[in-house]
């Protein structure tokens, strides 16, 4: 089952840079997929297409086999289904306390107060930060902020979680903890996960399937066994 597909995608920045060149990607439901590639390969540009921040110059993005609808309502739905966790949590955290930050997205969905509370509690426990709920976010460590950012996306109950460099800036213990919590969450919430990463070491441990990008193109894809055997 494919949950997200990019078909024949091209993207040109306003200055003419051809950042995505005929990209074809299918993300399978319930799997953990990795997007690998050096600086400038096109990973961020690709991610910006997944929740409609950017519209393709040509080609189509499908979510659940439906072409993305770029109307206001269509984008609201898409952004609820495709949760994005950015590399730098400081770009994602705005509120005074951890609890407020995590509840922000759920409050925006106009959910009943009781449902917001329930989701925030679950997200706090899932990400292992229940004891930090009343802390101001600026007083947290980088790894703790990363967890708050993840929790703030999980309260929206997305179908896909997209993470840009989830392990960057963490020490080995932090890395293994974050991967463990993501794996557990994936199973419990029946999530599909897509990560962009430079950290090749984590890919065979954490991911089922890999796309490798270079100069705006997908140059290689396969299971970890297939992709790493060819290196």
Among 33, 29, 42, 44, residue whose Cα is nearest residue 227: 33
Cα–Cα distances (Å) from 218 to 35, 64, 137, 139, 183, in that order, read 9, 22, 38, 40, 26
Please state the closest distance from residue 218 (CB atom) to ligand ADP, in A. Answer: 11
Please state the closest distance from residue 199 (CB atom) to ligand ADP, in A. Answer: 14
Out of 77, 88, 208, 214, the only residue in the binding site for ligand ADP (CB under 6 A) is 208
**Residue 16 vs 172, nearer CB to ligand ADP:** 16
Whether residue 131 contacts residue 181, with contact meaning beta carbons closer than 8 Å, is answered with no
Please state the closest distance from residue 81 (CB atom) to ligand ADP, in A. Answer: 17
38-97 residues near ligand ADP, rule: CB under 6 A: 39-45
**Residue 38 vs 67, nearer CB to ligand ADP:** 38
Taking the C-alpha atoms of residue 212 and residue 154, their distance in angstroms, rounded to an integer, is: 27
Whose tokens are 């969905």? That residue is 109
Instruction: For residue 207, state whether it binds ligand ADP (rule: CB under 6 A).
Output: no
Taking the C-alpha atoms of residue 150 and residue 129, their distance in angstroms, rounded to an integer, is: 11
Q: Please name the residue ranges forming H helices in the chain.
A: 43-50, 72-81, 98-108, 113-126, 142-154, 172-189, 202-206, 224-229
**Residue 102 vs 160, nearer CB to ligand ADP:** 160
143-182 residues near ligand ADP, rule: CB under 6 A: none
**Residue 10 vs 26, nearer CB to ligand ADP:** 26
Which pair of structure tokens corresponds to residue 222?
A: 């396969």
Please state the closest distance from residue 83 (CB atom) to ligand ADP, in A. Answer: 17
Taking the C-alpha atoms of residue 107 and residue 100, their distance in angstroms, rounded to an integer, is: 10
Which phi and psi (to 5°) does residue 148 adopt?
-60, -40
* Site track for ligand ADP across 1-40, x = CB under 6 A: ------------x-x-x-x------xxx--x-x---x-xx
Q: Count of residues binding ligand ADP (CB under 6 A)?
A: 20
The binding site for ligand ADP (CB under 6 A) comprises 13, 15, 17, 19, 26-28, 31, 33, 37, 39-45, 208-209, 223
């Amino acid at each position: 089952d494919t949950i997200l597909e990019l078909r024949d995608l091209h993207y040109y920045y306003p200055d003419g840079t051809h950042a995505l060149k005929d990209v074809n990607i299918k993300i399978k439901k319930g799997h953990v997929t990795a997007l690998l590639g050096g600086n400038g390969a096109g990973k961020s540009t690709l991610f910006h297409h997944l929740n409609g921040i950017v519209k393709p110059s040509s080609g189509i993005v499908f979510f659940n086999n439906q072409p993305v609808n770029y109307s206001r309502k269509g984008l609201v739905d898409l952004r609820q289904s495709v949760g994005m966790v950015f590399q730098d949590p400081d770009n994602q955290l705005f509120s005074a306390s951890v609890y407020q930050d995590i509840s922000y997205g759920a409050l925006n969905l106009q959910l009943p107060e009781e449902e917001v509370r329930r989701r925030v509690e679950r997200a706090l426990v899932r990400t292992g930060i229940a004891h930090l709920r009343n802390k101001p976010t600026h007083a947290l460590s980088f790894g703790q902020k990363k967890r708050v950012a993840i929790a703030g996306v999980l309260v929206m109950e997305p179908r896909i979680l997209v993470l840009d460099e989830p392990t960057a800036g963490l020490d080995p213990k932090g890395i293994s903890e974050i991967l463990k919590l993501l794996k557990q969450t994936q199973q419990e919430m029946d999530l599909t996960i897509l990560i962009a990463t430079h950290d090749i070491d984590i890919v065979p441990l954490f991911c089922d399937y890999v796309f490798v990008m270079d100069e705006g193109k997908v140059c290689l894809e396969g299971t970890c066994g297939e992709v790493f055997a060819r290196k």
